[in-house]
Structure formats: structure tokens, C-alpha cells
A and B are shown apart, each in its own frame.
Chain A
Amino acid sequence: DTEVTQTPKHLVMGMTNKKSLKCEQHMGHRAMYWYKQKAKKPPELMFVYSYEKLSINESVPSRFSPECPNSSLLNLHLHALQPEDSALYLCASSSRLEEISYEQYFGPGTRLTVT
């Protein structure tokens, strides 16, 4: 099973709302990632969690707050977003303990619109 799931598929929120994006994997991976992709651009890394600890934050504004409750789940909490935060948010995972492969597997994404 090489599946990463993300919910919701689409999200429309106002600038004063609080919402959360969810990501789940059951591949035994120990690293999980959030990427942001604007239209016609490549994905850009936001956060990396390794063994449930935040290891990389690519200078992301504090209105984005990641959380890793356990090794299978990754959340992205959103608060007071701006219209320019509208994008496709992609979750990925990689690296089982017993292997050295760094191959990342991506979820289908959440398409976020901020109004």
C-alpha cells in the first residue's frame, strides 16, 4: 500500500476562519511533509516532520501551524489566512525504519481558496 490520503479535497474559507487540513499514511513512514503549490508553479516545501518532531520550517508564516499527533497523521492548522494563501496543499511521506530509500509519496492534495 503506497497511499497517502488527504482531507478535505477542497476547502473555501474566509480570512477570519480557522480550519485544518489532514493527512494520513499507513506505510510505516517516519518522515512527513507539507508542500504548497501555486498555480503553474512547482511544489515548495513548507514543513518536515521526522519521528513526529518538526525538523524543518521553511520560514512559513505563523498563520500556518503544523501538528504531528502520531507517526501516521499530519495536520496543518490554518488561521487568519490571506487570499494569496490560496493554493494546492500537498502532503507527502517517506522512509520506513528498515530502509534507506528517501522516496517520497504524495497525497492527492487539498485545494484551498481563501476569500
Chain B
Amino acid sequence: GIQVEQSPPDLILQEGANSTLRCNFSDSVNNLQWFHQNPWGQLINLFYIPSGTKQNGRLSATTVATERYSLLYISSSQTTDSGVYFCAVGPDSARQLTFGSGTQLTVLP
């Protein structure tokens, strides 16, 4: 099956700093999503981005499908950004998502 690798596994930042999270995947995809999992377990949709670039406030994402990677940018981080960030991909002709192992982000005040 498709392989998904996320880096870094852990990231500690001071409030106000910027960060970049990376997701590499091993095959062509029809779905790529970035999620933020809060401490209660809820997966919050950040971006649906199988290709291209999107921005939403302090967050933006870019997927280069031909090179099989995606980047999530967080600018001016806040303590409420803390949590686990997952990249998940869906291979062509299939509906299911395969998740990467996540990046644990801690933003310190």
C-alpha cells in the first residue's frame, strides 16, 4: 500500500515562531488532507489539497503531486496550535485514507 512519511516527528516552538511540516508519499493520490487533532481526539480538517496551494489565515499548504510531497506552513504560532498534525492520503481509484505518523507540535508561551 501507499507509504506516508511525516517530518519532523516532534516540534517545539516559542509563541510567534513560524514552522513548516512535511509529508512525503510513495504513490499518486486523489486525496491529500491535513488535520489537526486536538487533545480530545477530534480531527479538525485544515486543508483538502491533492495539488496546488491554499491559504487559510495563518496556515497555508502546498502539494507538489508530481514530486509526491506536501508542506504545511504555520505562521505566528499560538499556544492553541499545539497538538498533533496529521497528513493523510488517498491513493488513486480508492476512497480510504492512509495517515502519516503525525507531527507533535508544542507551542510554548
Name A's B-contacting residues (CB within 8 A).
2, 31, 33, 37, 41-45, 48, 50, 55-56, 88, 90, 92, 94-95, 101-106, 108-109, 111
Chain B CB within 10 Å, residue with most, of A45, A50, A103, A108: A103
Contact in complex: B31, A102 (CB < 8 Å): yes
Judged by a CB distance under 8 angstroms, whether B19 is at the interface is no
Cβ contacts under 8 Å, B99 to chain A: 42-44
Cβ contacts under 8 Å, B100 to chain A: 42
Q: Is the interface of A mostly helix, strand, loop or mixed?
A: strand
Judged by a CB distance under 8 angstroms, whether B65 is at the interface is no
Contact in complex: B31, A103 (CB < 8 Å): yes
Further contacts, 19 of them, CB under 8 A, given A33-B97, A45-B98:
A42-B86, A42-B88, A42-B99, A43-B43, A44-B99, A45-B97, A48-B96, A50-B95, A56-B96, A88-B41, A90-B41, A101-B48, A102-B30, A103-B48, A108-B41, A108-B42, A109-B41, A109-B42, A111-B41
Contact in complex: A102, B95 (CB < 8 Å): yes
The chain B residue sitting closest to A94, CB to CB, is: B95
User: Quick one: CB contact mask for B78-101 with A, threshold 8 Å, 1 for yes?
Assistant: 000000001010100001111111
Q: A42-B86, A42-B101 are in contact. Are A108 and B40 (CB under 8 A)?
A: yes
